[in-house]
């Protein structure tokens, strides 16, 4: 904040010509005229990474898969065996199944994901009749099913899912009865293929609903249109007007299906009351990625006149002794007059008011020195009071010089604090699981405006804001 410091002997110089003054103003009071504060609207690009962990997709995909894909219950002609010199052909009852053999495995890289489903198969052959009743054999097989998913998006933000299915027998599926192999693979193939058609349809529907890009993006788009409030005592509202949205990347990264979206938005900060309800508009079609990068925001930071006045008044709390009398500044009021700052010092000597003196100056911003100081400090138009006589010219100039030297604000350290504050304020948790994370690369005062209640610093902020959304994780 501005640190205006008046040296003690400056007050002494002021009081010399005032001791004998009447209880009246010794200069003409300027009127109170402030400037309307309006921040510049800027263009920024907000990053919107949307992540759906593969573990979440896998959990939902499990629901699309039955535990048993095929049941076997049939009678077949079995082998022919010698029974008391006579060859007898027996029939066997075949009972078995094809089931899941462990959890679904989901992997992915680039634009694709692959579901791997291990299956096991078992068959028991039981002979029939006089000869066959002594026959019982069991066989087992193993299969792996592969379902590849390619996921894309249309220009209307509609999710596009393409699935391809394949499988392989890792262990041949047959049962051996009396030295004769009875294969069940062809039958199991047909049954599994039919089941996988159903599984593929359910899985496609599940993925499309889970990765509903239009709903995800449109909800985030609506959320970004709501003003963001930062600060506690001095509320600052940041209005966003998203212009278009685009996708930089879509695919699997770091064990999550990821959509790296971006939003080009017009941004304006303001100090105001809570805004009225904002009518949101739906997200437009996908456009090409913006060449603009990062956050570019103009933020208003206020230095209240009351705070500046309190610091200026500090050196006068104990009073200054002049000719065995105590001079005090009983009130110090600061207010704007067009593009100048007015300092109204109300004086009292031995508790008796002796008048008010008015000074005015412009504020000068020195970016190289990172300093704000007074420029053109002077009294307002003088009247015929003796204080304005020629013999007091040197005294008046001394007062101006001392105040000019003392009223300097080197803001480098405070700007670093403001940088950390802006980062913390812009990083917050929004609705629907969206969290903001800000990186402030640079911050600099662009201009100063004399507002109604304080000096408003128009601070330019450059950096990046990431609005992250993790679904189901």
What's the pLDDT tens digit per position in 417-448? 988 988 888 877 676 678 888 899 999 999 99
What confidence category does residue 471 fall into, taking pLDDT thresholds of 50, 70 and 90? Answer: confident
What confidence category does residue 99 fall into, taking pLDDT thresholds of 50, 70 and 90? Answer: very high
Asked if residue 258 belongs to a domain, the reply is no
* Same domain as 60, residue 26: no
Average pLDDT of the segment spanning 385-403? 59
Residue 166 confidence (pLDDT) above 90: yes
Average pLDDT of the segment spanning 220-230? 87
Residue 17 confidence (pLDDT) above 50: no
User: Is the model more confident about 352 or about 286?
Assistant: 286
Asked if residue 240 belongs to a domain, the reply is no
Give CA 173 to chain center in angstroms. Answer: 55
Most confident by average pLDDT, 162-176, 346-360, 379-393: 162-176
* Same domain as 2, residue 58: no
* Same domain as 338, residue 205: no
- What pLDDT, in 10s, does the model give residues 288-312? 999 999 999 999 988 888 887 777 7
Asked if residue 215 belongs to a domain, the reply is no
Residue 395 confidence (pLDDT) above 60: no
- d(CA 467, CA 263) in angstroms, rounded, equals 10
Asked if residue 219 belongs to a domain, the reply is no
Residue 212 confidence (pLDDT) above 80: yes
* Same domain as 59, residue 20: no
Helical packing angle, 8-15 and 393-406, nearest 10°: 160
- d(CA 76, CA 177) in angstroms, rounded, equals 12
Are the C-beta atoms of residues 402 and 10 closer than 8 Å to each other?
Answer: yes
- What pLDDT, in 10s, does the model give residues 112-164? 899 999 999 999 998 887 666 778 899 999 999 999 999 999 999 999 999 99
- d(CA 325, CA 162) in angstroms, rounded, equals 93
* Same domain as 379, residue 328: yes
Residue 5: what pLDDT? 30
* Same domain as 296, residue 201: no
Give the H or E element holding residue 294. Answer: none
Lowest mean pLDDT, pick from 30-39, 115-124, 287-296, 344-353: 344-353
Residue 232: what pLDDT? 60
- Percentage of the residues of the chain whose pLDDT score is greater than 90: 44
Q: Which of 76, 65, 75 is nearest to 98 (CA)?
A: 65
* Same domain as 96, residue 9: no
* Same domain as 26, residue 123: no
The DSSP symbol for 2 reads: -
Contacts of residue 404, Cβ cutoff 8 Å, sequence gap at least 6: 361, 373, 374, 377
* Same domain as 185, residue 104: yes
Most confident by average pLDDT, 193-207, 304-318, 388-402, 429-443: 193-207
State the total domains in the chain.
Answer: 2
Domain containing 104 equals 54-210
* Same domain as 369, residue 409: yes
* Same domain as 463, residue 412: yes
* Same domain as 412, residue 284: yes
Q: How many Å is the Cα radius of gyration of the chain?
A: 41
Tell whether pTM > 0.85. no
Arithmetic mean of pLDDT over the chain = 82
- d(CA 88, CA 106) in angstroms, rounded, equals 51
Give the CA count within 13 Å in the CB-facing half-sphere of 55. Answer: 5
């Amino acid at each position: 904040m501005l640190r205006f410091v008046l040296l003690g002997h400056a007050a002494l110089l002021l009081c010399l010509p005032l001791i004998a003054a009447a209880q009246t103003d010794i200069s003409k009071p300027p009127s109170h005229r402030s400037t309307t504060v309006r921040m510049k609207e800027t263009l920024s690009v907000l990053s919107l990474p949307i992540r759906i962990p593969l573990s979440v997709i896998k959990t939902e995909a499990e629901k699309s898969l039955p535990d048993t894909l095929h049941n076997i219950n049939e009678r077949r002609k079995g082998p022919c065996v010698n029974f008391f010199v006579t060859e007898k052909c027996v029939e066997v009852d075949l009972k078995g199944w094809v089931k899941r053999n462990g959890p679904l495995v989901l992997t992915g890289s680039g634009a694709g994901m692959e579901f791997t489903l291990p299956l096991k198969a078992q068959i028991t052959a039981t002979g029939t009749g006089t000869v066959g009743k002594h026959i019982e054999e069991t066989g087992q097989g193993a299969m792996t099913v592969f379902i590849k998913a390619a996921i894309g998006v249309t220009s209307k933000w509609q999710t596009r899912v393409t699935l391809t299915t394949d499988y392989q027998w890792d262990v041949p599926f047959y049962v051996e009865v009396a030295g004769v192999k009875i294969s069940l693979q062809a039958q199991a193939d047909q049954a599994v293929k039919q089941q996988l058609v159903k599984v593929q349809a359910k899985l496609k529907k599940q993925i499309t609903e889970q990765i509903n890009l239009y709903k995800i993006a449109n909800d985030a788009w609506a959320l970004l249109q709501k003003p963001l409030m930062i600060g506690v005592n001095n509320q600052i509202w940041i209005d966003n007007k998203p212009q278009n949205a685009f996708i930089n990347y879509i695919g699997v990264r770091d064990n999550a299906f990821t959509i790296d979206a971006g939003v080009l938005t017009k941004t304006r900060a303001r100090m105001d009351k809570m805004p009225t309800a904002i009518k949101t508009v739906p997200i437009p079609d996908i456009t090409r990625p913006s060449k603009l990068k990062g956050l570019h925001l103009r933020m208003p930071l206020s230095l209240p006149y009351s705070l500046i006045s309190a610091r200026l008044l500090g050196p006068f709390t104990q009073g200054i002794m002049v000719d065995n009398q105590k001079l005090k500044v009983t009130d110090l009021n600061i207010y704007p007059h067009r593009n100048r700052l007015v300092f109204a010092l109300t004086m009292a000597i031995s508790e008796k008011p002796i008048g008010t003196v008015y000074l005015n100056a412009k504020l000068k911003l020195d970016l190289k020195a990172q300093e704000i100081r007074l420029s053109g400090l002077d009294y307002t138009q003088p009247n015929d009071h003796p204080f304005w006589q020629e013999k007091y010219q040197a005294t008046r100039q001394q007062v101006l010089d001392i105040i000019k030297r003392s009223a300097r604000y080197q803001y480098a350290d405070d700007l670093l604090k403001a940088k950390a504050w802006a980062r913390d304020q812009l990083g917050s948790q929004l609705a629907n699981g969206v969290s903001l994370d800000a990186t402030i690369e640079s911050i600099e005062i662009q201009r100063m405006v004399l507002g109604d209640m304080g000096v408003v610093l128009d601070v330019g902020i450059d950096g990046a804001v990431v609005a992250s959304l993790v679904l189901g994780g």
